[in-house]
């Protein structure tokens, strides 16, 4: 049977020891780190299918052959077109999907291959 302790009504009430504050702070830090690690791992797991899908798609470049041929003398058109096709073939051999601008309805400006000296 537990001993009963007599409390003197005139004695001051003291606070319990503060030992729990340090362990509570430690638990908050550990829980925060665990939450951050779990969030990072979950994000990596969730984006894995997207990364795998993008890895299978080739980069794309759009060449505006008609624009490149503007101002070319008619006797040089055959040579200029052959040069454009050689460039497209080299890009395709490097794994790039090359499209003619005439076949594209809309695309971001960054996909278009610009002639030298064109901003």
Residues 11-21 pLDDT 10s: 666 655 555 56
Residue ranges in the chain assigned as alpha helix (H): 19-55, 65-68, 77-93
Q: What is the pLDDT of residue 8?
A: 63
- Up-side HSE of residue 44: CA atoms within 13 Å toward CB? 6
Distance CA 19, CA 110 (A): 61
Q: What is the pTM of this model?
A: 0.49
Within 10 A of 67 (CB to CB), how many other CB atoms are there? 14
Q: Determine the number of helices (DSSP H) and then strands (DSSP E) in the chain.
A: 3, 3
Which stretches in the chain have pLDDT values below 70? 1-22, 115-119
Query: Could you tell me how far CA 18 lies from the centroid of its own chain?
Result: 46
Find, among 70, 55, 58, the residue nearest to 101 by Cα: 70
What pLDDT score was predicted for residue 36? 93
């Amino acid at each position: 049977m537990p001993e009963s302790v007599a409390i003197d009504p005139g004695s001051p009430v003291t606070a319990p020891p503060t030992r729990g504050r340090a362990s509570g702070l430690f638990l908050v830090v550990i829980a925060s780190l665990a939450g951050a690690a779990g969030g990072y791992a979950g994000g990596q797991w969730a984006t894995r299918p997207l990364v795998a899908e993008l890895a299978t798609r080739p980069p794309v470049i759009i060449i505006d052959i008609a624009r490149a041929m503007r101002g070319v003398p008619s006797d040089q058109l055959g040579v200029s077109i052959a040069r454009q096709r050689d460039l497209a073939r080299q890009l395709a051999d490097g794994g790039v999907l090359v499209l003619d601008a005439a076949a594209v309805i809309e695309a971001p400006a960054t996909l278009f291959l610009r002639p030298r000296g064109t901003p």
